[in-house]
């Protein structure tokens, strides 16, 4: 039986909100407005996952699927230095792939699963999980097919988390809430509908605070307290 490993986000307050960090055998989803720090957390996790477990890391490699072209390897360097790690070695342990269509994204997952059966990975990042679906299925009449393909992709991702004891960190976009009513104070909700809601173990909502400050709230989780964490985006990655 595999046991859960918790990987630090770089922020103690965010870790506490999550019960110790992002968990293996689970899918952590982050959604929120642009520049709210979703991709910056992905970069920080690329490094912290490689820390030994005694330092709240996962002692493993990272797989990174980038659908928006926003991964910056040079960003990894100051983050690695902050954690006292060799930046070159850290970069070598990040398997990076850019996806251009939702089919490509799916095939990359198959390839990564093969790699994970050979080497110890502890984190899979998909940034963002839904962007290509929203590009590849544009028409209203295509929504049912899009959701079906999305469900297929998410089931593959869930399998990876469970088979290889990997933490999955995936980002999502926000959409205007057409229903209104429920989201009066902020008429936005995560994209992907019930299919995505069902796949995520933990859903995090990010928003901007003052300056480099960001706020994270656990969204819709019956097993976690309705609390918020404040964190910062620093040169060394996510911090308090």
Provide the binding-site residues for ligand GTP, judged by CB under 6 A. 32, 34-40, 70, 75, 212, 233-235
For residue 111, the minimal CB distance to Mg ion (Å) is 23
| Of residues 8 and 40, the one with the C-beta less far from ligand GTP | 40
190 makes contact, choosing from Mg ion, ligand GTP, none, with CB < 5 to 8 Å by partner type, with: none
| CA–CA gap between residue 210 and residue 84 (Å, rounded) | 28
State whether residue 167 is helix, strand or coil: strand
Binder among 8, 11, 36, 39 for Mg ion (CB under 5 A): 39
Please report whether residue 49 would count as binding Mg ion according to CB under 5 A.
no
Q: Which two tokens stand for residue 184?
A: 């009066």
Alpha-carbon distance 128 to 167, whole Å?
16
Please report which helix (H) or strand (E) contains residue 38, including its range: helix 38-48
Q: Is the dihedral of CA 128, 63, 60, 239 positive or negative?
A: negative
Closest CB 207 distance from ligand GTP, rounded Å: 10
Which option in Mg ion, ligand GTP, none does residue 212 bind, with CB closer than 5 to 8 A by kind? ligand GTP
Closest CB to Mg ion belongs to which residue? Answer: 39
Give me the least distance between CB of 156 and ligand GTP, in Å please: 23
- Decide if 127 contacts 66 (C-beta within 8 A): yes
CA separation for the pair 149, 235 (Å, rounded): 37
**Which residue number, 25 or 76, has a Cβ lying nearer to ligand GTP?**
76
Stretch that binds Mg ion, among 43-51, 64-72, 152-160, 217-225 (CB under 5 A): 64-72
**Angle between the N-to-C axes of helices 73-82 and 38-48, in degrees from 0 to 180, rounded to the nearest 10:** 60
Q: How far is the CB of 68 from Mg ion (least distance, A)?
A: 6
Measured distance CA(70)–CA(173) in Å, rounded = 14
Min dist CB 4 to ligand GTP, Å, is 26
d(CA 131, CA 191): 9
- For β-strands 174-176 and 213-218, DSSP reports them as unpaired
Number of shown-chain residues binding Mg ion (CB under 5 A): 3
Question: Which stretches of the chain bind Mg ion, using CB under 5 A?
Answer: 38-39, 70
């Amino acid at each position: 039986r595999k046991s859960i490993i918790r990987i630090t986000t770089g922020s103690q307050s965010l870790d506490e909100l999550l019960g110790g960090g992002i968990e293996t055998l689970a899918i952590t989803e982050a959604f929120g407005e642009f520049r709210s720090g979703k991709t910056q957390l992905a970069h920080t996790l690329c490094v912290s996952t490689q820390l030994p477990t005694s330092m709240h890391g996962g002692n493993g490699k990272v797989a990174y699927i980038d659908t928006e072209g926003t991964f910056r390897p040079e960003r990894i360097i100051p983050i690695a230095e902050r954690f006292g790690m060799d930046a070159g070695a850290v970069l070598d342990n990040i398997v990076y792939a850019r996806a251009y269509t939702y089919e490509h994204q799916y095939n990359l997952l198959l390839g990564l699963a093969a790699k994970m059966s050979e080497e110890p990975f502890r984190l899979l990042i998909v940034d963002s999980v839904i962007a290509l679906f929203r590009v590849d299925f544009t028409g209203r009449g295509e929504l049912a097919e899009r959701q079906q393909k999305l469900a297929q992709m998410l089931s593959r991702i869930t399998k990876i988390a469970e088979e290889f004891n990997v933490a999955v960190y995936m980002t999502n976009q926000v959409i205007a809430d057409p229903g209104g009513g429920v989201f009066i104070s902020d008429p936005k909700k995560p994209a992907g509908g019930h299919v995505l809601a069902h796949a995520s173990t933990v859903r995090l909502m990010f928003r901007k605070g003052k300056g480099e400050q960001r706020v994270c709230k656990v969204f819709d989780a019956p097993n976690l307290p309705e609390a918020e964490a404040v964190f910062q985006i620093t040169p060394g990655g996510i911090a308090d």
